[in-house]
Amino acid sequence: MNLSLEQRLSWLVFLFFLSVYLLTSQGSIQSSDGKIMYFLTQAVIEHHQFNLSDYFDGSTVERFSKYGLGMSVLAIPFYVAGLGLSKVLGIDPVFTTTFCVSLINAWVTALSCLMVFRFGRDRFNFRYRTAWVLSLAFGLSTPAWVYSEDFMSEPATTLVLLCAAYLITDPRPALKNQNLLWAGIFLGLGLLFRASTAIALPGFLLYLALTGGHRGGEKYCDLLADLARFTLPLLLFLCVIFFYNFVRYQNIFVSGYEKGFGPWLFKGLYGILFSPGKSMFLYAPVLMLGCAGIPGFFRSRPGSALLFVWIILAHLMLFSCWHSWFGGLSWGPRLMLVTFPFLVLPAGFLLESNPRVFNTPVAYLIALGILIQIPGVTVNMARYYYFMKAEYGEKAHDLILYSAPHTPLLGQFGMMGQVIRNLGDRKGMEERVAIAKQQGRFTGMDPATVLKKGLAVNAPNFWWLYLYLFGYPFIMAGLPPLVLLSTVWICGYKINILTGEPHRPSPDS
């Protein structure tokens, strides 16, 4: 089968990022959000129920997950695959199911990187090299890399929102009807993953209203038909959400998130944009070039630019009013991850306008971003929070957010050095491995105890290293990372060669 250059590059880009993410995956579910969503998947498959009472002690946790249903449903085939893997390898299904489910976001984020590449080619007609650089910027130079490791809802929300925007901005009249329907489906999936996705809906409707009259001389009734095609899937997904709410709370309008918003707008804005501990521009410096590219974006494609800006600003304003705008024990502004591809893509207009001027600063900013993500990928994100809590008690929270000397951007490098040194402590590591094999939990324990005994916060956070520490053979612990590393090198080399060819128009141009 002969693949076109576009198809070859698409496969190579996807395989490159998938291999990177699988290589650096943690292979376990370490976030509290992820564990609850995993337990819901387990409850549905094993007990055919939404009730989580069997997984927690008494009244310490609500009986139902307050998180969106989407991730738990998405995890079902991965959970089933884990059960099969358990039977084949003779391993406790708790480990194999969590392993398989934890890999979901590696696949999801690799698809998001592919969508960034395709967006650059198909919608903006960027050169191959520009589209590749933008996918690198998003995939390795922002916290998207870090969040590819754990089982959380932001990566999947990012993907479906990106797909919806990609479909609705397709300029081809022949595909308009089906694209509108699929765009509505993807946005509806976003609602299942995170209810906050609804904040993007007015931007999509505004885009349709502004561009509908320019598509083949459509009349007013045709525009209404377009709006109906787009919104019908949303209504169907909304019915699913209402049903799920009723099952949990006997009220279709209660989701579990009603009490989280308040008068924190300016505090949240400052924190997300400028604070030493959570500024998205500090955790992903390349986003600054994306902001600089927005004026050129508006000049070139005003409709798409308006949609992008709406998605960015609407999420920024919404999350700034959320009581946990900082995203808990997370790496950078976790909640804003859904906006990162929409902030990265406008940088392509700078690269296209004057490559000689902007190639070098883009390369430096991407390299800096990759360096910033490495400790977040290598070390459990919670370790530094536990360390600060043990050192400073109740003051730790504000120090992490607002004190430059205590920012995780610096502290996590120290944590990376510590976990690497821990590998030399054979006795201590054997004790931690024994606790992990017994599925020991540290809920309610003081931070100092967790820092001392928790395996996940005391070793480089890679699944293949955990397999080695657990005593598995080379064919399981050593061979897979070598294969993945080779795939990264081969795909990266081929992409570099192919994107150096002269510009060819995208078939969608």
Q: Domain spans of the chain? A: 136-376, 377-475
Distance CA 478, CA 183 (A): 42
Element (H, E) at 133: helix 128-141
If we measure between CA atoms, which residue out of 47, 84, 75, 49 comes closest to residue 64? 49
Which class for 280: exposed (0-12), middle (13-18), buried (19 or more C-beta within 10 A)? Answer: buried
Distance CA 41, CA 129 (A): 41
Distance CA 15, CA 135 (A): 13
Cα torsion 329, 333, 339, 340: sign? negative
pTM of the model: 0.93
Q: What's the confidence (pLDDT) of residue 509? A: 45
Distance CA 480, CA 103 (A): 14
CB 179 within 8 A of CB 403: no
For 336-451, list the strands marked E by DSSP: none
Neighbours of 158 (CB within 10 A): 28
For 368-498, list the strands marked E by DSSP: none
CB 95 within 8 A of CB 83: no
Distance CA 345, CA 306 (A): 13
Region at 153 (left for phi over 0; alpha for psi -120 to 50; beta for the rest): alpha
For 276-412, list the strands marked E by DSSP: none
Which two three-digit tokens encode residue 475? 């064919």
Q: What's the confidence (pLDDT) of residue 59? A: 45
For 231-344, list the strands marked E by DSSP: none
Binned average pLDDT, 10 residues per bin, the chain of 509 residues: 86 98 94 91 90 62 80 96 93 92 97 98 96 98 97 97 97 92 97 95 94 60 87 95 90 77 88 96 97 96 97 97 89 96 97 88 95 96 90 93 95 94 87 79 69 81 92 91 97 94 54
Return the DSSP state at 261.
B
Which two three-digit tokens encode residue 93? 């299904």
Distance CA 21, CA 26 (A): 10
Distance CA 473, CA 436 (A): 18
Which two three-digit tokens encode residue 500? 């150096």
Question: Can you tell me whether residue 373 is helix, strand or coil?
Answer: helix
If we measure between CA atoms, which residue out of 261, 311, 249, 303 comes closest to residue 66? 249
CB 293 within 8 A of CB 350: yes
Taking CB atoms within 8 Å and a gap of at least 24, the contacts of 86-94 are: 94/439
Widest distance between CA atoms in the chain: 75
CB 370 within 8 A of CB 20: no
The amino acid sitting at 136 is L
Distance CA 263, CA 221 (A): 41
For the chain, the distance separating the N- and C-terminal CA atoms, rounded to the nearest angstrom, is: 24
Distance CA 385, CA 398 (A): 11
